[in-house]
Chains A and B, each alone.
Chain A
Amino acid sequence: MSTKEPILSVRDMRVEFKIKKQNALPWHQPEILRAVKGVSFDLAEGETLGIVGESGCGKSTLARAIIRMIPSQGGEVFWQGRDLMKMNEKGLLGIRKEIQMIFQDPLASLNPRLTAGQIIAEPLKTHHPSTSKDEVKKQVRELMEKVGLSARMINRYPHEFSGGQCQRIGIARALITNPKLIICDEPVSALDVSVQAQVVNLLMDLQKELGLSLLFIAHDLSVVKHISNRIMVLEFGDIAEIGEAHDVIHNPQSPYTKELINAVPIPDPIAERKRIAERRALEAKA
């Protein structure tokens, strides 16, 4: 992977938020919350980088800052050699065609007043407004079949779909502009175990077929491990560890990674109870 030129390089990314102190008066200086504290990484073409960490560790903030959905306080993002941070709105629009995003809550990220077909077609209308109606319809139908939805459902509204199906609509919407990178922000956290596997497998198949790069954000290590080539562990806005997926899971270096791995429950009563007992004994000692 190191032989390839990275498609995305992030250098020293910093994001800060101003927050009001508790019981603060209007003239008090706001406190600075440093959500992302200088994160750097590279992503190669066709690679999947998993980003894991507890809620509040800055993983979603990092992803949003990369595509400039939120302002950042420093750092550089190179997308195929061009610095995103120095781009104007018009330039960014062109880039956003190439970088798409899938969100956590499948129902909340779809407009309830649009049909599935309209939702999937929206990015196409924004980025290629000259596409003919028939062409849009044709592409939407093709994509729906590709993500495992029947094209007959094109006129249904989001509430008529199950959670897993809604997430498929979100994936189709992200794919319609032929992106090179998809940022998946906890795409399966809200789904049932039985549906989770289907969506993860779908993403992996699409990646192979279309040569996509993925940034896969999740807090569940067992899912991230399956889809990622490399894993980055974030702790309070800092990189705790980054490395090949297999190494991070089987030979974690940072104590924080170990803690995360230990928190994943094992679906085996005997093993899991033994582990809980060990964890409690350890905590009692500490």
Chain B
Amino acid sequence: MALLDIQNLRITYDTPDGVVEAVRNVNLQIDKGETLAIVGESGSGKSQTAFATMGLLPHNAQVSGSIKYQGQEIIGLSHEEMNKLRSNEIAMIFQDPMTSLNPYLRISDQMAETLIYNSPNGKRMKKKDAIAECVRMLEAVKIPNAKNRIHLYPHEFSGGMRQRVMIAMSLLCRPKLLIADEPTTALDVTVQARIMDLLVELQEEFHMAIVLITHNLGIVAGSCERTMVMYKGEVMEQGSTVDIFGKPSHPYTQGLLSAVPRLNQDEERLVTLDRSFETQMAEG
């Protein structure tokens, strides 16, 4: 049985301009310990798919289809049941580490909260123990001098360090599935490389499955076994990363791949995405 099994997912919104289909007919499976990349530009529905899995869609979203986590249907779960799943099974890291941390709380307070209310063994953890555990986790994500720095506020960390705090926080309850929504988009290339190395390392250590949502094809090439390409709410193609990059079958994937600026290519003009496939799709 797949760890996560999404069938015919469709997400729609009622807007003054009529019904907008954010996601349609998405099917995806992910097994234990696997890494799947979802790539696509903004508005392609990749984050919507992730939000649906986490039960984080806004109230006016209408969802149909099925999302099964270890055989359990997620769509329609109550708030409490969803919270339980989110605390112990599925975790998520967001794109912007500044807006997803509470600026009024010290890192120690917001991290320990997770363990105090949701410790893995079901009992309430003492604050002192919780903080000790948090320090261990911050060390695992390689924050130097974690013991002292845990008492700082989010604004006292750099962007890369904040993202490490987010990762540490999401790993506290040992999730089996980690959804990383553009975890490195806000970061420098050098920091990005370090964060990706870290994620791969932690994945091996904690045996979790990772869904990596990104528009950066370079990091997908480096660390994901399977890739799914989305465009305008639909899956264009999915398969092994090597196949998709080696011989992309869909014109959108081909266009996306050629639009990535490369260091070793010498043409002066950048290749822009050719959108003529849209008319082909509409006709065919």
In contact, B193 and A263 (Cβ under 8 angstroms): yes
Say yes or no: is A39 at the interface (Cβ < 8 Å to chain B): no
Say yes or no: is A193 at the interface (Cβ < 8 Å to chain B): yes
Give the docked Cα–Cα distance between A260 and B188 (Å).
Answer: 10
Binds A, one of B61-69, B111-119, B252-260: B252-260
Which residues of B, 139-174, contact A by the 8 Å Cβ criterion? 156, 158-159
Interface size class for chain A?
35 or more
In contact, A55 and B215 (Cβ under 8 angstroms): no
In contact, A222 and B261 (Cβ under 8 angstroms): yes
Shortest beta-carbon distance, B155 to chain A, in Å? 13
Shortest beta-carbon distance, B193 to chain A, in Å? 4
Contact with B245, one of A54, A246, A267 (Cβ below 8 angstroms): A267
What's the dominant secondary structure at chain A's contact region? Answer: helix
Contact with B263, one of A162, A193, A195, A264 (Cβ below 8 angstroms): A264
Contact with B218, one of A246, A261, A270, A272 (Cβ below 8 angstroms): A272
Shortest beta-carbon distance, A6 to chain B, in Å? 23
Say yes or no: is B128 at the interface (Cβ < 8 Å to chain A): no
Shortest beta-carbon distance, A112 to chain B, in Å? 17
Shortest beta-carbon distance, B42 to chain A, in Å? 5
Contact with A196, one of B158, B190, B261 (Cβ below 8 angstroms): B261
- Hey, which chain B residues are within 8 Å of A271, CB to CB? 221
Say yes or no: is B123 at the interface (Cβ < 8 Å to chain A): no
Say yes or no: is A89 at the interface (Cβ < 8 Å to chain B): no
Binds B, one of A71-79, A124-132, A173-181, A198-206: A198-206
Shortest beta-carbon distance, A195 to chain B, in Å? 7
Say yes or no: is A249 at the interface (Cβ < 8 Å to chain B): yes
Shortest beta-carbon distance, B225 to chain A, in Å? 10
Give the docked Cα–Cα distance between A33 and B221 (Å).
Answer: 38
Say yes or no: is A192 at the interface (Cβ < 8 Å to chain B): yes
Give the docked Cα–Cα distance between A197 and B215 (Å).
Answer: 14
Contact with B272, one of A194, A223, A276, A279 (Cβ below 8 angstroms): A194
- Hey, which chain A residues are within 8 Å of B273, CB to CB? 194, 197
Say yes or no: is A219 at the interface (Cβ < 8 Å to chain B): yes
Give the docked Cα–Cα distance between A221 and B193 (Å).
Answer: 14
- Hey, which chain A residues are within 8 Å of B221, CB to CB? 265-269, 271-273
Which residues of A, 216-262, contact B by the 8 Å Cβ criterion? 219-223, 225-226, 246, 249, 259-262
- Hey, which chain A residues are within 8 Å of B187, CB to CB? 55
In contact, A269 and B263 (Cβ under 8 angstroms): no
Say yes or no: is B236 at the interface (Cβ < 8 Å to chain A): no
In contact, B272 and A263 (Cβ under 8 angstroms): no
Say yes or no: is A280 at the interface (Cβ < 8 Å to chain B): yes
In contact, B218 and A265 (Cβ under 8 angstroms): yes
In contact, B259 and A194 (Cβ under 8 angstroms): yes
Specify the chain B residue showing the minimal Cβ separation from A256.
B190
Give the docked Cα–Cα distance between A90 and B117 (Å).
Answer: 60
Q: Please give the residue numbers on chain A whose beta carbons come within 8 Å of chain B beta carbons, in ascending order.
A: 22, 54-56, 162-163, 192-198, 200-201, 204, 219-223, 225-226, 246, 249, 259-273, 275-276, 279-280
Q: A263-B193, A267-B220 are in contact. List 18 more A-B contacts (CB 8 A).
A: A54-B188, A54-B190, A55-B187, A162-B42, A193-B259, A193-B260, A194-B255, A198-B272, A219-B189, A220-B189, A220-B261, A221-B189, A246-B266, A266-B222, A266-B263, A267-B221, A267-B257, A273-B222
| 5 interchain residue pairs of minimum CB distance | A265-B218, A197-B270, A194-B273, A222-B261, A267-B217
